[in-house]
Amino acid sequence: PPAPPGAIRFLFLGSLIPTKGPDVVLEAFARLPAGAATLRLVGPPLPYRGSSRYADALRARAAAIPGVTLTAPWSPTEVGERLADHDVLLFPSTWEENSPFVLHEAAAAGLRVVASDIPGSSAVLGERGARVAPGDVEAWRRALASEVRLGRRRDRKSTRLNSSHSSVSRMPSSA
């Protein structure tokens, strides 16, 4: 079926701390043409190293970029329904993850995924999803622009992620 009309809807779902990379996708999103997409950042603004400066700066930057909303965490019972309101999950973590559950949730909801090319996410995704160098804002901008060109179609194959992965093995990097 054809993709529904409208701007593509990106989602970041995780703790609002530097190692999860929300600032990376926020800056990459800011470099897209205005109106091409929306970005929702969902998660707790946790203190990082005893300070709220990072979360405060993230909140201020998000408020200054059209198309961005920053919201409090969803309850576990809301996640499935709210994922359906988005097209692409962004997983910009800058550290190794151990089988990130949010990737499985996104796949079950039919969302496409753009993720940092790190152990854990690469192992879970297998051949699915787009991989991006962690922390590279320009690479993330290019990946987001590619997703915008794809439109709002769903990834019907994404429900079949690699379930027999090892959290310590690195999948081959994609260029």
* pLDDT band for position 152 (cuts 50, 70, 90): confident
pLDDT digits (tens, 9 = 90+) for 44-59: 988 888 889 999 999 9
Which conformational region is residue 4 in: left (phi greater than 0), alpha (psi within -120 to 50 degrees), or beta? Answer: beta
Where does 71-136 have alpha helices with state H?
Answer: 79-83, 101-108, 121-125
Mean pLDDT, the chain, rounded, equals: 84
**What pLDDT does 27 receive?**
98
pTM of the model: 0.85
Nearest Cα to 87, choosing from 22, 40, 127, 31? 40
pLDDT digits (tens, 9 = 90+) for 66-79: 999 999 999 988 98
